[in-house]
A = this chain, B = another copy of it.
Amino acid sequence: MILETALDLLKHKDYNTLKMLISQENPADLALLLDELPKEDAVITYRLLPKELATEVFSHLEGDNREALITAFSDKELEEVVADLFIDDAVDLIEEMPASVVKRILKHTSPEDRKIINEILNYPKDSAGSIMTTEFVTLRRDMTVEQAFDRIRKTGVDKETIYTCYVTDDTKKLLGTVSVKDLLLSDYSTHIEDIMEDNPISVVTTDDKEDVAKQLTHYDFIAMPVTDTENRLVGIVTFDDAMDVIEDETEEDFAIMAAMSPSEDGYFKTSVFVHAKNRIFWLLFLMLSSTITGSIIAKYEEAFAALPILVAFIPMLMSAGGNCGSQSSTMVIRGLAVNEIRFKDFFKVVFKELRISVIVGVILSVINAVRILIMYRNSQECDSAVLALIVSLTLVLVVIIAQIMGCCLPMLAKKLKFDPAIMAAPLISTIADTCSVLIFFNIAMTILHIR
């Protein structure tokens, strides 16, 4: 709605009305608007933004729109935006821009900021250090609440969050945390050391960012302090960045579980060729694996030459195995992802899945047997009871094996430091297919030979 109004105002060059309109909006919504406008209109609209909103809107924009804006910026404009950005946003920006733009950005960054940005860029990808911000409020343990408020007032403007303050000593070692709530609810003369949380929970710069995000959620923190290996406070990870990490990881899990390489950008931003590239590797791998199943079937030509109706059950057995396997692998992959299941639970999980698979397998087999007995009761080609026996026996075994594989393989992958999500439905199905066909024809040959 606002998009259409904005387009209309831009068309009629009614910039005053547009300026009024956008000054009322939330920065996150304005970023969405700018992302949807044509590039030139986005630049015009951005320049109409009130100064105090502009940088916040900028930090919410998509990568290519930021690039377009930076290209349009005068040196002075660029300098202002870069100075206003929180350090972690500046790092993000630099990481996603092409080299020529990075060069221009760094030229307009203050030497101190440039130093900090370079330090953060040096932390390993996916580490806590790489997503932290270095802007936080520190207090001393011997300060009074009144002094603490003075300090927050003086230094708080540029800080991403002021609601948790960090108590450090002369060597920057983290001693404790104190929330603004506790400060507000205490007397002005109280000393910080009397109200601070001792034994503060913190992470180390090299910790995995996903673990940090999970810990922050576990403790319901607004920000998680990050220290170096000697417990010196070097940064904080704020809850909004932690939520982004969790969302990205979920996205990645979904992609991997559907046998795709995860995409950095959104669906529409990713080109057709990149989409195809992300999908083709697994498809090729799974196609070639499934030819193994085909070769196995070919080996049992004599079986289905003797009883061609057997072939009709292959799709059902393959799909039952695949579906059961994907159910248990999905449960286990999620359990591992949210830390509910650990490797030490291996046998507990296997025993649980075994019991579930027996129940499920028996129910499916019985219903299937009934169906075969009814449908093939007048068949000339075969004895319906024998057919029911062959198919149902196979079905029970296939369900049990598929479910056990579905729970074991993700846990083993995790143990071997692979992403458990690669052991999801597509791969499990392909393995289950081969097992199904082998079991099916062996049971069929045995039973039919006995006759």
Query: Nearest B residue to A294 by beta-carbon distance?
Result: B312
B-facing mask of A198-209, CB < 8 A → 1, else 0? 110100000000
Cα distance A356–B199 in the bound complex, in angstroms: 54
Q: Report the minimum CB–CB distance from A57 to chain B (whole Å).
A: 13
Chain A residues 143-163 with CB under 8 Å of chain B are: 149, 152-153, 156-157, 162-163
Cα distance A350–B314 in the bound complex, in angstroms: 32
Task: List, in ascending order, chain B residues with CB within 8 A of A25's CB.
Answer: 199
Q: A340 near B201 (CB under 8 angstroms)? A: no
Cα distance A152–B324 in the bound complex, in angstroms: 55
Counting contact residues on chain A (CB < 8 A from B), the size range is 35 or more
Question: Is residue A347 contacting chain B, with contact meaning CB distance below 8 A?
Answer: no
Question: Is residue A341 contacting chain B, with contact meaning CB distance below 8 A?
Answer: yes
Chain A residues 262-276 with CB under 8 Å of chain B are: 266-268, 272-273, 275-276
Q: Which of A41-49, A225-233, A325-333 contacts B (4 or more CB under 8 A)?
A: A325-333
Q: B314 near A308 (CB under 8 angstroms)? A: no
Query: Nearest B residue to A259 by beta-carbon distance?
Result: B323
Number of copies: 2
Cα distance A352–B320 in the bound complex, in angstroms: 32
Chain A residues 284-340 with CB under 8 Å of chain B are: 284, 286-288, 290-291, 293-295, 297-298, 301, 304-305, 308-309, 311-316, 318-320, 322-324, 326-327, 329-335, 338, 340
Q: B156 near A267 (CB under 8 angstroms)? A: no
Further contacts, 12 of them, CB under 8 A, given A267-B331, A275-B331, A275-B352: A28-B220, A156-B181, A217-B247, A258-B329, A259-B326, A266-B335, A267-B335, A279-B327, A290-B319, A304-B311, A314-B315, A318-B318
Cβ-neighbour of A156 out of B185, B295, B363 (below 8 A):
B185
Q: A348 near B268 (CB under 8 angstroms)? A: yes
Question: Is residue A359 contacting chain B, with contact meaning CB distance below 8 A?
Answer: yes
Question: Is residue A384 contacting chain B, with contact meaning CB distance below 8 A?
Answer: no
Task: List, in ascending order, chain B residues with CB within 8 A of A247's CB.
Answer: 217, 338
Query: Nearest B residue to A197 by beta-carbon distance?
Result: B26
Cα distance A334–B250 in the bound complex, in angstroms: 10
Cβ-neighbour of A162 out of B181, B219, B324, B340 (below 8 A):
B181
10 contacts between A and B (CB under 8 A): A26-B219, A28-B219, A156-B181, A222-B222, A268-B341, A276-B363, A286-B319, A291-B315, A294-B312, A298-B311
Question: Is residue A180 contacting chain B, with contact meaning CB distance below 8 A?
Answer: yes
Question: Is residue A79 contacting chain B, with contact meaning CB distance below 8 A?
Answer: no
Q: B315 near A290 (CB under 8 angstroms)? A: yes
Q: A316 near B304 (CB under 8 angstroms)? A: no
Question: Is residue A67 contacting chain B, with contact meaning CB distance below 8 A?
Answer: no
Task: List, in ascending order, chain B residues with CB within 8 A of A352's CB.
Answer: 268, 272, 275
Instruction: Tell me whether chain A's interface is mostly helix, strand or loop, or mixed.
Output: helix
Cα distance A105–B319 in the bound complex, in angstroms: 49
Question: Is residue A171 contacting chain B, with contact meaning CB distance below 8 A?
Answer: no
Query: Nearest B residue to A272 by beta-carbon distance?
Result: B355
Question: Is residue A413 contacting chain B, with contact meaning CB distance below 8 A?
Answer: no
Q: Report the minimum CB–CB distance from A448 to chain B (whole Å).
A: 17
Q: Which of A94-102, A110-118, A126-134, A426-434 contacts B (4 or more CB under 8 A)?
A: A426-434
Question: Is residue A343 contacting chain B, with contact meaning CB distance below 8 A?
Answer: no
Given contacts A184-B152, A311-B304, A330 and B297 within 8 Å (CB-CB): no
Query: Nearest B residue to A334 by beta-carbon distance?
Result: B254
Cβ-neighbour of A163 out of B163, B246, B318 (below 8 A):
B163
Q: B180 near A163 (CB under 8 angstroms)? A: yes
Question: Is residue A260 contacting chain B, with contact meaning CB distance below 8 A?
Answer: yes
Task: List, in ascending order, chain B residues with CB within 8 A of A298's CB.
Answer: 308-309, 311-312
Question: Is residue A240 contacting chain B, with contact meaning CB distance below 8 A?
Answer: yes
Given contacts A198-B24, A425-B258, A319 and B356 within 8 Å (CB-CB): no
B-facing mask of A21-58, CB < 8 A → 1, else 0? 00011101000000000000000000000000000000
Question: Is residue A367 contacting chain B, with contact meaning CB distance below 8 A?
Answer: yes
Question: Is residue A368 contacting chain B, with contact meaning CB distance below 8 A?
Answer: yes
Question: Is residue A125 contacting chain B, with contact meaning CB distance below 8 A?
Answer: no
Task: List, in ascending order, chain B residues with CB within 8 A of A276's CB.
Answer: 356, 359-360, 363
Task: List, in ascending order, chain B residues with CB within 8 A of A72's CB.
Answer: none
Task: List, in ascending order, chain B residues with CB within 8 A of A331's CB.
Answer: 255, 258, 260, 267, 275
